[in-house]
Amino acid sequence: MDKAALFRFLELDISDASCDEINVLLEDVVDEAGFDFFTLTRQPLLRAEQESLVLAGRWPDGWPEIYVKRKYSVIDPTLRYLGYCQNGFRWREAAAFFEEDPQAKRIMRMLKQAKKFGLEDGYVFPVHGRQGLAGTLTVAGRPVELSAGEVLMFEAVARKALWALLESSNLGVPVSDPANRSHNMTKREIETLSLLAQGYTSGEMGSTLGLSTHTVDWYMNGIQNKLDARNRHHAVAIAFRRGLIS
């Protein structure tokens, strides 16, 4: 794989670059690595539309609409695997992890349909902030073999691009108010709150996080107790006020 674009991107000062300029630089990286498509997304805001989460990228025509219409985000193994893996991983690795999952057949149908749009395989590179997952860079298309070193370089590109685009778009990642840090929220509780804020049901949260509905409800009871919230809606409101989720 040609690493020149990766090195160029990592060496450049993009602190004052525009969103369009950063997008073009990312396209160069993706093209030279041999991938056809990519998307850099941030963690969602309350009631945010799926499109508003995408900071940069290009995807096959028609695939985003099918993905949203069929609610693939609930079963997408690459999204669910983020709850188990802190580093960059390959799509096939995530799919194999859920081979015995109750949603395995639906996952296979989703992946089979994705291939019809040229999404044969890919990688996901998560970016973590102070309060957990801040965003992800996904590259996909024809199968490409990345070495361990190349995965690390892509992870660095993902971090640099995400923070630069958030800054350029005036989309900051809030930090908790020090006066409210007595909540001692865990990473899993923050992830659960974030999904709840998007309107996910307990069952959908369980499928996304790889948990049973009973476990999700147990997490929610603990969250409400820590936040002294009357109900789930109240917990989300408090979490946003304190900067726990964005």
User: Residues of CATH 3.30.450.80 domain(s) within the chain?
Assistant: 4-168
* Contacts (Cβ under 8 Å, ≥6 apart) of 100: none
Model confidence, pTM: 0.70
Q: Residue 192 and residue 146: Cα distance in Å, rounded?
A: 31
pLDDT of 130 higher than 50: yes
For the stretch 199-232, pLDDT in tens is 888 888 888 888 888 888 888 888 888 888 888 8
Tell how strand 37-42 and strand 54-58 pair up: antiparallel
Q: Residue 132 and residue 143: Cα distance in Å, rounded?
A: 29
For the stretch 84-98, pLDDT in tens is 788 999 999 999 999
CATH topology of domain 178-241: Arc Repressor Mutant, subunit A (1.10.10)
* Contacts (Cβ under 8 Å, ≥6 apart) of 83: 188, 191, 208, 209, 210
Choose which CATH entry (3.20.20.140, 3.40.50.1970, 3.10.129.10, 3.30.450.80) describes domain 4-168: 3.30.450.80
**Residue 8 burial (CB count, 10 A):** 13
User: Residues of CATH 1.10.10.10 domain(s) within the chain?
Assistant: 178-241
- For the chain, give the percent of residues with pLDDT over 70: 87
Residue closest to 194 by CA, chosen among 33, 51, 42: 42
Strand order in the sheet with 54-58: 54-58, 37-42, 132-141, 121-129, 89-90
